[in-house]
Structure 1
Amino acid sequence: MHELGIMDSILRTAFERSEEAGASRIHRITLTIGSLSGVAPEALEFAFGALTVDTAAEGATLDIRRNDVRITCAVCGAEYVPEAPVACCTVCGSPGGAITTGREIELTSLEVS
């Protein structure tokens, strides 16, 4: 379960940012997880519960937002959400392109006091 290591890293960043802000308590952590990230949200939630015991984040809310895959067409430059396993541009029909979102694991926001 690599989500435990991922959540540990996220929490270390959250604690650092909280301290930098002069806060002693974390109330909410919001993450954005791409659908191609390979991360199971349920496993992140489990890890969050286990790793926040007796910390400044104990009792905090974890919000996980999913981000769909988006591709930028290599031919026409249009950005689109692929509709099938073979991604063809919805504007010009060309296959493939560059994945622009969908692989990220981001600490999007932090509510502290």
Structure 2
Amino acid sequence: MSQAATFPVVRPTAVGRDRLLLLGGVLAGPIFVSSAIVQAATRDGFDFRRHPVSVLSTGELGWIQIVTFLATGMFFAVAWVTLIVRPVPAAMVAFGLAVTAGWLWVSVTFARAASDRAD
């Protein structure tokens, strides 16, 4: 008679709170895109080919896009911090460094643009 082989229990690397925080980061992109598409469909004259998404933050319904910017940015930032804090594979570390570099580049670019005077 043969005995059943026993295998160690394999658990996911992210459980509980961390999994929820990472899920927020995964959903941030689809939430942002779907919000922009719905808003663009309801705004007369808005065209993705000619207008940046940030134009949706103007006008009477601009608060919707502002909340979308804040919420999806927060979801992504929390997921990024979760990836940085946990011991993760090298690919995720590279992703985290790329996000950090992009954030620094955008921050410096905006700071320089804000400090320039319009003639």
Question: With structure 2 as the length reference, what TM-score do the two structures score?
Answer: 0.24
Larger Rg: 2
TM-score, normalised by the number of residues in structure 1? 0.25
Q: Which has the higher contact order (CA 8 A, sep 6+)?
A: 1
Higher helix share: 2
Q: Which has the higher strand share?
A: 1
